[in-house]
Each structure stands twice: as structure tokens, then as C-alpha cells.
Structure 1
């Protein structure tokens, strides 16, 4: 509301609504690096070969954090051409099942790992599927994701392995 009111008074504002995104350096508070860090610790012999997970049936629209940063930069560089109060969804338009994401990460490990659902990691109000439409960002900013999600997952796992090795 405040941004809308300020926009009405002349503040030029561009709003970004990024959907789920991940990348190297992200904390374990998020699902993808939480999966990857558990795998890295198991591979290093620092944890038993067991991953505890929440709801693996949820479907989410994921992007690489570098693609999100690129969209922000494009919005700044094109801000003089944008209408005030323009809102951009930043999304891939694809939904990934959390179980499939975990499977892709596990496939990159040579260690046999058991997956166990942890009730403490379940969210009571988890929406089954969240997918975005980034048509406006594609059209007005010339933006599109450049990194495949598989590439992103490999980068996250490699980063987690490096962090575990340095610890």
C-alpha cells in the first residue's frame, strides 16, 4: 500500500516478485541447500547415510539466483523505459517436484543414501504447487533464465562439498 501511495505521488517504483531461487552460498534454511549439505556431510563421513526431509510432493518454480540478479540489473538499467509501479514476476514457468530435485542431487553422489520423512520438517500450510508467469519480464526486460536448473543443482552441491571440506 505504501509503495502504491508513493507511486501515486510520483515515486517511480518497480517491484520484483521472485519465485523460489537457489544457488551456491545459500543457507541450509532453504530446501535445496539443506538437501545438498546433508549429502556433502554424508559423503565426507560426517553424518550417517540418511537424509531427513519434509514434504517431497510439493511442486515449486525454481530459478538460479544468478538469473534473479540478472533480472534486477535489467530492471534498473531499463527503469527509465518502464511505467511507474510495474510489477515483474521472476519465474521459470516450470514446476519441480521436491522429490525430483532430491533425486537429481542424490544421482550426483556415489554414496547410497536413505531418505526419511521428518515430521518436524513438514509445513502445515504447504501449497501443493506454485508456478509463476514471467511473461512481462521477458517482454519488457528481455529477460529469461540462462542457467538450467540441473546446472544450478550441480553448483549448489559442489558449493556444499567445498564448504564441508573447509570446515
Structure 2
């Protein structure tokens, strides 16, 4: 059975990827930092097939030990300080984990190696936030980077060091430049889930207001379950390359809000929404939309869940969760 090692295993993508790889017959190993990660229990309850391994992206020896323990065929580096707004307040930590963590993992892979006939294959989770103040629309693999946050800057370093190690050491290392991808497993701090959860709570009478920042920002939103398929496909190719993964459609945050309220039958959504300057970023990314032609042609990848279906799925999930917590029958 092939073996996969996933950092960021308790996050949205880590959970989706673990489930997908398990269905493909993989032994799945997930890296967790320390002994008190509050999400580990819930993840293992849903996916008991995952074997958790201790490790820390800030500590190279722990990564070497983790790889020696798991002996993986494939490594998926999804671990990061991934909340863009937080990166402005914790810029150094973001650079250390999101940026230098990639370098440490590549070094660990170079040291552990795998067998000569079956070297470890490496996937890096790059981000559309690297494009930032975009130079062209839509963005593809050749579009120059102009990040607008410490998170974006750290991701650019991670992306570039993957290219460097691929070219310097002939590692099978590639990056997926994934545009925004969401779903019911998304953290509550991210704007999509913040919106769908608030809408559910407002519908149930548990909350009376949704406070947001910029409603005009536009993003290319897809479903996380679709995007982890692309990660796996990249590591099944004969040659390692980088790919943009996106839907090719863009939607504003205002459209996200309007559609989410519409899912619960609320048309006059503006009475529930307030903008607060504290939620505006110091440097905003106004528009992101990806051109995934290369992935569609070479990987045969296509998104299956469209934007309306994604929002409907998320609102329905949050209605169920919030109603259960409050003891409300739907």
C-alpha cells in the first residue's frame, strides 16, 4: 500500500485529502505539533485510519524523525499559518512556519530520501495570495507574483524554494497554486464560513448581526474536495511541475453574502450586515481569478461543485450544526 504523509492534517484540506487518499488505498500519516492539539480527537473520531506522528515545521530534526517513522511515498505540505489577517499581526511567525517550514521539509526529504527506485514525492500548498496586486487577469503559472500580506510573501518563498530544490537536487517536488477553496470543514475565521455560519445563526435567532470588512473584494471560490484531487494528480505525473487550480469564475464578498442569506429565505440582508474598518486589511487584494487550463489539459482535472452548490452546502451544514448545539429542531 502506498504511504502518504500530510502536514496540516487537522485543517480543511488535510481532512479532505486524508479521506480521499484512504479511499485510494493509502496508509495515511498526519503530522501534529505537540500533544494538545484540540482538533486531533475530532479528526480521529471521523477518520480513525489516520496515524498521527509528532512533528513541527519549525524544527528540522522533528521532521526528519517524522519521515523516518512514516516512510512515506508522498508528502503533502499543507501546514501553515494560513489566516491572512493574522499574518499582519504575527508576521515573523508566519514567515517561519509558512515560508521556512517548506525549506525544512524539503531538507528533511533530501536527508531521508526514500528508496533509490522510489524517491519521496513532495507537494507544496502554494496560494493565489502570492499574486496579490495582480499584473494580469486571469492569473496563470507564468503570472508574476506581487504579494500583499506577510502570508503571501511567505508563500512566495515557499513556492520559489520548491522550484530551487527541484532544479538543484532533482527532487520530485511541485506546487499547486490553489485559489480560494471552501467547504463545511473551513475554519470559522475565514470569510466564507464566517458568513454561512452567521447566516445560519441569524436564521435560527441565535445572532442578530454579521460584521464584515470589504464587501467589494472578488475571489475565485471552489470546493476543497475538488481541489485535493488536483494535489494527488500532480504527484502521479512523470515530471514534477507547478499548476494553477481554480474555477475560472470570480464572485464578490457581497455576492457571497447575498446568496448565503438567500439560502435561508432572507432577501433584505443589508439590515443584518455591518461593515467595520478593523476588518479591512492594511493592503487589500481586490481581484483574484485563476486560469487552470494547464491542469485541465495535463492532469485531466475539472471542478465538480459550482459556486451556488458550494454556498448551499455550507449554509445547510451550518444550519444543522447550530440547530443541534442550540437544541432547535429544523
Query: Shift of residue 121 of structure 1?
Result: 1.5
1:100-115 alignment to 2 at 5 Å? 100-111=255-266, 113=269, 114=271, 115=273
| Structure-2 separation of matches of 1:93 and 1:32 | 18
Work out whether residues 163 and 174 of structure 2, in 8 Å CA contact, stay in contact via their aligned partners in 1.
no
- Is there any run of 5+ residues in structure 2 with no aligned partner, and where? 1-159, 326-330
How high is the TM-score relative to the length of structure 1? 0.90
How high is the TM-score relative to the length of structure 2? 0.47
Query: Shift of residue 145 of structure 1?
Result: 0.7
Q: Please name the residue that 2:205 is paired with.
A: 45
Q: Please name the residue that 2:277 is paired with.
A: 119
| Structure-2 separation of matches of 1:166 and 1:121 | 29
Q: Please name the residue that 2:163 is paired with.
A: 4
Work out whether residues 25 and 159 of structure 1, in 8 Å CA contact, stay in contact via their aligned partners in 2.
no
Q: Please name the residue that 2:299 is paired with.
A: 141
Q: Please name the residue that 2:47 is paired with.
A: none
SS of aligned partner of 1:165? helix
RMSD, matched Cα: 1.5
Q: Please name the residue that 2:323 is paired with.
A: 165
Query: Shift of residue 31 of structure 1?
Result: 0.8
Q: Please name the residue that 1:130 is paired with.
A: 288
Structure 1 runs (4+) greater than 6 angstroms displaced: none
Q: Please name the residue that 1:74 is paired with.
A: 233
SS of aligned partner of 1:138? helix
| Structure-2 separation of matches of 1:2 and 1:126 | 25
1:17-32 alignment to 2 at 5 Å? 17-32=177-192
Query: How many residue pairs are counted as aligned between the two chains?
Result: 162
The match for 1:97 among 252, 256, 265 is 252
Moved more, 102-111 or 148-157: 102-111
Query: Shift of residue 62 of structure 1?
Result: 0.8
Query: Which structure is larger by alpha-carbon Rg, 1 or 2?
Result: 2
CA offsets 1:44-71 (integer angstroms, 9 cap, x no match) = 21112x2211111111111111111121
SS of aligned partner of 1:107? helix
Work out whether residues 162 and 174 of structure 2, in 8 Å CA contact, stay in contact via their aligned partners in 1.
no
The match for 1:88 among 243, 246, 264 is 243
